[in-house]
Amino acid sequence: MGKAIGLREDFDGAALRRLSRMTRSANQARRLLALAEIYDGGSRSAAARIGGVGLQIVRDWVLRFNARGPDGLLDGK
């Protein structure tokens, strides 16, 4: 099994929870809360349960978040 992809170091769980309260997008809020779980030491499986998705989707969210920050978790192309 490969090593988990790390999250950006310029955010933390508390910051993502704050952002999730401020966004108008329910999907972005759900994704931010899932990633906040990982920042706080939770497992990727726990993050997947919070997000209501599988592990592969959580991996995709991590990649999008690392590349574009919170805006990478918005719906769209």
Query: What gap in Å lies between CA 48 and CA 34, rounded to an integer?
Result: 7
Residue type, 7: L
Q: Which of 24, 61, 20, 69 is nearest to 44 (CA)?
A: 61
Instruction: Kindly give the residue spans of alpha helices, DSSP state H, lying in 1-77.
Output: 13-22, 26-39, 44-51, 55-68
Question: In terms of residues, how long is the chain?
Answer: 77
Examine residue 31 and state whether it is found in any structural domain, yes or no: yes
pLDDT in tens, 17-43: 999 999 999 999 999 999 999 999 999
Examine residue 76 and state whether it is found in any structural domain, yes or no: no
Number of structural domains found in the chain: 1
Q: What is the mean pLDDT of the chain?
A: 94
Average confidence (pLDDT) over 59-75: 96
Task: Specify the 3-state DSSP secondary structure of 1.
Answer: coil
Examine residue 50 and state whether it is found in any structural domain, yes or no: yes
Average confidence (pLDDT) over 54-62: 97
Structural domain that includes position 43: 13-70
Examine residue 51 and state whether it is found in any structural domain, yes or no: yes
